[in-house]
Amino acid sequence: MVKKKILKTLNKKKGMYLKEEEVTSHAGITAEELQNEIESLKSDGYIIDTSLSEGYRLVESPNRLLPYELQRELETKYIGQNVHYFKEVDSTNEVAKKLAENGAVEGTIIIAESQSRGRGRRGKRWLSPEGGVWMTIILRPDVSPVKAPQLTLITGVAVAQTLQNECQLDVGIKWPNDILIGDKKVCGILTEAAADKEFLDYVVVGIGIDLNVNVELFPPELRDGATSLQFELEKEIYSVELVQKFLKNFENIYEDFKEGNFPEILSQWRKLSKTIGKSVAVHKKGRIVLGEAVGITKDGILILEMEDGTLRKIISGECIHRPSENV
Ligand code: BTN
């Protein structure tokens, strides 16, 4: 809280010196306390110049998803207005579920700089070193439990649009929820819901973006087919701004969803889809279904055209894009 007040004061005149008295009076602390807090901010990665005669000057903020930085210019109404931040945690989805059980409000986000037991879909592990965005959003939509999987699709649209707008890369979605750059995965989404037959209690949507991550250091089974934004753009990405834009975009799309506009969101999904029109292999509990992806139903179910021309609906599975035969 004190740190927040100090940073707010310093940020008002970023790059310029502020007298010690000005900062202490705004933050309501003594000069000694201020010095201690400044040291602590420096160890968080803030670059702050100190001059005996001129006072304090904020030179640079760290490229970290610290709650204060994230919320400073966040334009959302409720998504991300409550943040639980961890330097390291087992899995943000696990924390989110506990918080949701204890009544956390809709829009609460859990964010970690690294995860020791990050989880992917289908029981896979998800490597989550520092530099990535590992985040979970708690949602409480007043919709039937059967609609919960639609939240994965809307999150995919929000991530893909944000990356496309910010980075002008060839971003798209592999059904159901992998965000690709070219043909490499840059983001995965893990949605988990708590519901009884009729009512959805809460949904946690976990998003993992390989942002400033060196995927070449991943073990081969996780490295293959993966990329990071830093690798694609050949520069370090400022994570705070990207996440703020994503949260705003997500909130807009989620509001549309709650107003019953899922068909419009699905048409955005179709435009972003890298799966429709491809020859695919869908792995389902030890079986492999081969076909051509020809569409997606209004509920987000993949439609495959089989070799014999029949259509088959695929509710879930691991989808692999197969190389086109005439290339
Ligand atoms: C996938 O398999 O593609 C889904 C990956 C989801 C990873 C994210 S990172 C934040 C959240 N916490 C987790 O443990 N998993 C999700």
Name the residue with the closest Cα to ligand 1, atom 16. 206
In whole angstroms, what is the distance from residue 272 CA to residue 274 CA?
6
Residues 267 and 285 grouped into a single domain = no
Q: What pLDDT sits at residue 133?
A: 98
Side-chain-facing half-sphere of 42: CA atoms under 13 Å = 12
The model's pLDDT over 70-86, given as tens digits with 9 standing for 90+, comes to: 998 899 999 999 999 99
Looking at the fold, whether 88 and 36 belong to one and the same domain comes out as: no
What is the per-residue pLDDT across 233-264, written as a single tens digit (0 to 9) for each?
Answer: 999 999 999 999 999 999 999 999 999 999 99
Cα distance between residue 268 and residue 176, in whole Å: 14
Residues 169 and 163: beta-carbon distance below 8 Å: yes
Domain that holds residue 122: 67-272
Is residue 184 located within the same domain as residue 250? yes
Average pLDDT of the chain to the nearest whole number: 93
Same domain? 86 vs 211:
yes
Q: Which residues contact 301 (CB under 8 A, 6 or more apart)?
A: 313, 314, 315
Residues 178 and 84 placed together within one structural domain of the fold: yes
**More confidently predicted of 123 and 132:** 132
| Nearest atom in ligand 1 to 177's CA | 3
Total of domains in the chain: 3
Q: Which amino acid is at 273?
A: S
Distance 128 CA to ligand 1 centre (A): 9
| Ligand 1 geometric centre to CA of 211 (Å) | 14
239 and 211 in contact (C-beta within 8 Å)? yes
Report whether residue 91 contacts ligand 1, using a CB cutoff of 6 Å. Answer: yes
Interior/surface letters 243-279, b for 16+ CB within 10 angstroms, e for the rest: bbbbbbbbbebbebbeeeebeebbebbeebbbbbebb
**C-alpha 154: how far from its chain's center?**
12
- 183 and 111 in a common domain: yes
Tell me, using a 6 A CB cutoff, whether residue 208 lines ligand 1.
Answer: yes
